[in-house]
Structure 1
Amino acid sequence: MKSSKKRKKASEKILKSLRVPINKHLPIIVDEAAVSLRTKEEIINRIIPLSIAAAKAMEAPPEKIEDFIEKYHANGLFTKEEQKFLSTNPIIENERIQYSWKLECIWLLLWSVNLISDLDAPAGTCDADFVFETVLLSSKQELLEKSAIKPVGEILDILDFTYRAHWAVREAQLNDWVTPSSLEAGVVYERHYTLNWLVNYMEEEWDDVSTST
């Protein structure tokens, strides 16, 4: 089991290789023994509504959205904010952008249950077509049967790296610096948000997850 200090050191080494600024004073993150991960069913139940909302943001026809909701019996899976978005017509542009970015959350969640094998550095956006094909062409039961949660240590490795990368992104934004080319700010934010939900950070539910750095 890797200690939080070793995890911090490993993340800083990777960030240095990517030429990303490092804040040595950022604290260590939680130890593995103290983490209570979301269950596999909780993760699948988050992937499904996020995928439906993202499909609407990507301009799927209204009748298709209704078909997805019926297929997954998804009415009880949406958060209040997602319900509001799904009931909005026409879509407000900033909300369309916001829910398009949720594809990055889905990508991270698919990785967390081994429905995608690799998670690249957050330098570019994910494969939206692959997300929709993987999720919306499968039944909920198929998703549950095909998935298996990654070890908590692997998830914490990514969380620690993303937490420190997010600090660098925010510093660039606050100081009007150029964001390191090895980081895409939106991807870093969505991954940090999703990882904090995955590890039950401060026991916050999806609409209220914080990403402090």
Structure 2
Amino acid sequence: MSWFGRILGKLTNPKSKYVTPGLEEKLKPSAPLTDSDEQKMRRRESEIRLRGEGIPLNSDLPDVPAASDVSLRSSREVADRALALTLVGMKAHGMDHEVMLEIVRERAAENCFTADEHAFIMTPAPAPADLERFASSFEAAWALIWALRLVREPLSTPRDVCNFDRLIEIVRDTPDLSIYDLRRPCRILDKLDLFLRYDWAVKQAARNGIKPPSHLNPAVAMERYHALSWLTCQIDYENWEDDALAA
């Protein structure tokens, strides 16, 4: 049995039990919207939700792209990024170095990491600052796993961290994380718009030296927004570390 299997369980199912097709909501027929109307409606729905949660709004934040104008990463790219982020999170949370190297080889993940992530993965005993820096990678991975339609639940208000064990199980039990197409662009953009506003709220609180509103978890909000921004080509792969958690 492989190192991965010994530590995390035997990989026996070629199609993950977590892969659940047909997760998209049923489409309701409606008159087509202009790009501008779509963006206004998306902003309005996000702001209604945030007001209900007691989260401050910034009317000067830009609109996210319309569905007809957005470019999404391929499902293969998203799957590779989700795998890399999960492995980085596992390393940051104490995975043995030699076991991690075996997992990387087993999943052919050598080329999935950014330069900083690769250096972290290859370091036998990372510095505490690096462990802390990469500890929230699970949150970005969870957002991408959601986009890949490998979980049923929506991306909820970013108060609590994701279920780390479940994330690892999904990655372990799904050899091909790109087995299904990405969620519809409009659904991804809904979350991008929402997390843009969560991200602003927690960063604004930090600038003002106060606690995040409505018990938001800054790392969860920022990592998930960062992942969605990358997914929708708002930031480049090469700038993943530069843009992550930037104020």
TM-score, length-scaled by structure 2:
0.79
Give the corresponding residue for 2:196. 163
Distance 1:45 1:158 in 2: 21
Unaligned residue ranges in structure 1 (runs of 5+):
none
Of the three residues 61, 65, 85, the one matched with 1:30 is 65
The one-character-per-residue Cα deviations of 1:21-43 (angstroms, maximum 9, x if unpaired) are: 11122222211111110111011
Of the three residues 224, 241, 247, the one matched with 1:207 is 241
- Name the SS of the counterpart of 2:241 in structure 1: helix
- Name the SS of the counterpart of 1:122 in structure 2: coil
Give the corresponding residue for 2:224. 191
Of the three residues 48, 60, 77, the one matched with 2:83 is 48
The alpha-carbon deviation at position 58 of structure 1 amounts to: 1.2
The one-character-per-residue Cα deviations of 1:184-210 (angstroms, maximum 9, x if unpaired) are: 111111011101100001545333446
The alpha-carbon deviation at position 121 of structure 1 amounts to: 1.2
- State whether structure 2 residue 195 is matched by structure 1 residue 120: no
Distance 1:203 1:51, change over 3 A: closer
Moved more, 12-21 or 52-61: 52-61
8 A contact 1:196–1:209 mirrored in 2: no
8 A contact 2:158–2:216 mirrored in 1: yes
- Name the SS of the counterpart of 1:86 in structure 2: helix
The alpha-carbon deviation at position 211 of structure 1 amounts to: 7.0
Given residue 25 of structure 1, which amino acid in structure 2 is its aligned partner? D
Given residue 155 of structure 1, which amino acid in structure 2 is its aligned partner? I
Q: Which has the higher helix share?
A: 1
- Name the SS of the counterpart of 1:76 in structure 2: coil
8 A contact 1:51–1:136 mirrored in 2: no
Give the count of matched residue pairs.
210
8 A contact 2:144–2:227 mirrored in 1: yes
Flag as ranges the 4+ runs of structure 1 deviating above 2 A.
202-213
Give the corresponding residue for 1:102. 137
Distance 2:94 2:213 in 1: 31
8 A contact 1:105–1:190 mirrored in 2: yes
Distance 2:246 2:135 in 1: 23
- Name the SS of the counterpart of 2:183 in structure 1: coil
Unaligned residue ranges in structure 2 (runs of 5+):
1-32
Given residue 50 of structure 1, which amino acid in structure 2 is its aligned partner? L
Percent pairwise identity: 29
Give the corresponding residue for 1:130. 166
The one-character-per-residue Cα deviations of 1:131-174 (angstroms, maximum 9, x if unpaired) are: 111102332x3x232x3310111111111111112111111111
Distance 1:190 1:210, change over 3 A: closer
Give the corresponding residue for 2:107. 72
Looking at CA atoms only, which structure, 1 or 2, has the larger radius of gyration? 2
Please give the root-mean-square deviation of Cα atoms over the aligned residues, in Å: 1.8
The alpha-carbon deviation at position 70 of structure 1 amounts to: 1.3
